[in-house]
Structure 1
C-alpha cells in the first residue's frame, strides 16, 4: 500500500514544518496515489487553514514512521506510552494506545497529537490492510484523543462517552495554546479536535466480525466521561485512565466515584488489563492496587487536613507532604498530587 504524505508548514511560522499523512490518499499502487494526491491535499488544507502545503509524495507502508507496538494477545496490539508528563522530549506521546484486529480494526485511544495518530495508523497498516471501522476514546484528556482525526479521515466512526464532547469543548481553546508550548509547535502541527460520531450513554457492543468490543460508560470517576472497552475474544479489558501504573493518577472527576468503581472488580474476569498509562497486568489486583492505594491515601489525608481546620492554601502543601510516603514508583508525583489535593479538598470539605 502507498500513502499520501504532504509537507505542511504553519502559516504563523512558515519555517515550522512537518510531514502530514493523509489517509484519504491510500492506494494499492503508487501511480494511483499520485493521480489523486493533488485534490486530496487541497481539500485537506482547506480544512486546516492554519497550515500551508508543500511537496507531496506517495510512500510505501514500510517507509512510514510508525509507533512500536506489541501483540499482547491474539490480534490485540499495544503501544505503551512514555511514563511522564508531556514534554518536548516525548512530544506528548505518553498514553497507552491500542488496536484490535477482526474483520475490521478498532483503535482504542488515538494519541496526543496528529503526528502520533499518524504513527499509530502506520503501525496498524504494517499489521493489516483491514478497514479501520472505529476509534474509541476512553476519556477526554488530550494525550488520548488528539490523534483521532487521522482515523476519522480513514473512515472510522469516532466513539466515546456521551459526556465527552461537552467536556472537551470547555477545554479546547486552552489546550490549543498550552500543548504546543509544552511539546513544541512542530510536534503539534495539524492537531485538532475531532467530533464524536457515536456517543455512548449506556453499554453497547461493537462487532468487528470475529470478535466484539463491549463498551461501558462509567459515572464520574477519573473524569465525568470515562469509558471501558472489553475485547470479548481475548478477554482484554482497556480501562483508559481509570487505572494508572507508573504515572501519578490525576483526578479530574469524582474521587468517591473513582474509588467506588475500583471497589468492584470487573465481571467477567478479564484475562488481561490495559491501563491508560503503564504496563498491562494479568490480574485485577495487580492492575488496580497502585491506583487504589494512591486514591485512598489522597482521600484520607485530605480528610485529615479538612478536620484539622486547614484552609485550602494550607491544605495543598500539607496533603502533598503527607502523601510523600506513598510516592515511590509514581512519576510526576509532587505536581500531580498538589493538583489532586485541590480537587479532593473541594469535593470533601462539605462531607
Structure 2
C-alpha cells in the first residue's frame, strides 16, 4: 500500500516542518495515490490553518515508521507502551493500543498520544491488513489514549466512546494539547488535535467485524467517569483501558471506591487474555487485577486512618504517602503518582458516611 505524505510546516515564524500522513490518499498503487493528492492535501490544510504545505509524495508503507505490533491471539494485535508516566518519557507513548481484525473490518482500541503515533499505528496496521478500519474505540479520555484518533477518523473509522467522554474531553482538550506540546515539543505533536466521538455507549454495544464481534461496556466511575471495556468474543481477549494498570502506578482520576468495587467483580464472559491500559498482557483475571486491587485497598485504608485521626489534607497526604511506602518497589513512576493519588483519595473519602 502507498500512503500520501504531506510535508506540513507551522504557518507562524517557526521553520519546523514534519511529514504528515493523510489516510484519505492511501491506495494500492503509487499512481492511484497520486490521483487526487493535490485536492486531498489542499482540503486538509484548509482544515488546519496553523499549518502550511511544502509538497507531498506517495510512499510505500514499508518505507514509513511503524509501531511494533505483537499478535497475542489470532487477529488480535497489541502495541505495548512503556510503563511510565508521560512526563518521564520523550514522546508520551505509554499506553497499550489494540487492533482486532475481523473477516470484513478492523477495529482499533485507543489511538496513542499524538498524530505522529497515530500515523505509525495506522502504518503498522496496513502492513498486516488492507481491510477497512470501521471503528476506533476510545477507552477513556486521557491524552495518551486519544490524541491519535484524528488519523483513524480521516481513514473512515467511526470514533466510539463512553457517553460521558465528549463532555469530559471537551473540557480538558486545550490543556491536554498544551501540556503535551510542552512535554514533547512541536516535532512530536505537529498536527495533533482532539476528535470527539461519532457514537457513544450508554451501557453496552456490540460491533460486528465479520466472523467476530466486540462487546463494549461502560463502567461506573472508577479510574475516570468515562471508562469503557472491549471484549473480543472470538479470542476471549478483554481490553480494559486504564481500568487496569500493571507495572505502572495506578492513577486515581475518578473514584477510588468505585474502582475497587469494579475490580471485585470478575468480568463476564471470563476472558482468556487481558490487555491492560499499561503493562504486560495477563493470562487470567486474578493475575491481572490482584496487584492493583491490593494497592488501591491500601490507599483507601491509609486515607481512612488519617481521616479518623482528624488530620487536615495538608498533613494527611504526607502521612498517606508514608503509609504506602511498602508499595514503592512494586510500581513504576511511583514517586510521581502516589502523592496525587493520596490527594484524590482524601478528597473523596473526607466526607464518607
Coarse TM-score class (shorter-chain normalised): over 0.9
Q: CA deviation at 1:163?
A: 0.3
Instruction: Give 3-state SS (helix, strand or coil) of 2:35's partner.
Output: helix
Alignment map for 1:132-151 (pairs within 5 Å): 132-151=133-152
1:23 has 2:23 as partner: yes
**1:48 and 1:210 mapped to 2: Cα distance?**
38
Does residue 119 of the first structure (1) align with residue 120 of the second (2)? yes
Q: How does 1:1-351 map onto structure 2 within 5 Å?
A: 1-87=1-87, 89-102=89-102, 103-351=104-352
Q: Which has the larger displacement, 178-187 or 128-137?
A: 178-187
Q: Structure 2 vs 1, CA of residues 89 and 261 (structure 1 numbering), >3 Å: closer, same or farther? A: closer
How far, CA to CA, are the matches of 2:118 and 2:197 in structure 1? 16
Please report how far the alpha carbon of residue 12 of structure 1 lies from its aligned counterpart in structure 2 after TM superposition.
Answer: 3.3
Structure 2 distance, partners of 1:175, 1:195, is 14
Distance 1:92 1:46 in 2: 28
SS at match of 2:127: helix
Q: Contact between 1:160 and 1:200, CA under 8 Å: does it hold in 2?
A: yes
Distance 2:320 2:214 in 1: 40
**CA distance in 2: counterparts of 1:291 and 1:257, whole angstroms:** 13
Q: How many Å apart are 1:87 and its aligned residue?
A: 4.1
Give the whole-Å Cα distance in 1 for the aligned partners of 2:317 and 2:196.
Answer: 36
Alpha-carbon distance, 1:314 to partner: 1.2
Q: Structure 1 residues 270, 188: closer, same or farther in 2, change over 3 A?
A: same
Q: What is the deviation of 1:331? A: 1.3
Q: Report the Cα offset of residue 329 of structure 1.
A: 2.6
Q: 1:320 to 1:11 in 2, by over 3 A?
A: farther
1:310 Cα deviation after fit: 1.3
Matched residues, number = 351
Deviations 1:166-221 (A, max 9, x none): 00011112112111111112101111110200110011110000100000001100
Q: CA deviation at 1:121?
A: 0.2
How far residue 246 of structure 1 moved from its aligned partner, in angstroms, is 1.0
- SS of the equivalent of 1:39 reads helix
Q: After TM superposition, give the deviation of residue 349 of structure 1 in Å.
A: 0.6
SS at match of 1:328: helix
- Is the 8 Å Cα contact of residues 88 and 184 (structure 1) preserved in structure 2? no
Distance 1:344 1:149 in 2: 34
**Structure 1 runs, 4 residues or longer, greater than 4 Å off:** none
Q: How far has the Cα of 1:13 moved from its partner?
A: 4.9
* Structure 1, gaps ≥5 residues long: none
Any conservation in 2 of the 1:320–1:334 contact (CA below 8 Å)? no
**Gaps in structure 2 of 5+ consecutive residues:** none
1:136-191 Cα distance to aligned partner (Å, 9 max, x none):
00000010000001000000010000000000011112112111111112101111
RMSD: 1.1
Report the Cα distance in structure 1 between the residues aligned to 2:315 and 2:117, rounded to whole angstroms. 40
Give distance in 1, aligned partners of 2:294 and 2:127. 39
Instruction: Give the drift of 1:14.
Output: 2.6
Following superposition, the deviation at residue 11 of structure 1 comes to 2.4
Displacement after TM superposition at 1:229 (Å): 0.2
Displacement of 1:60: 0.7
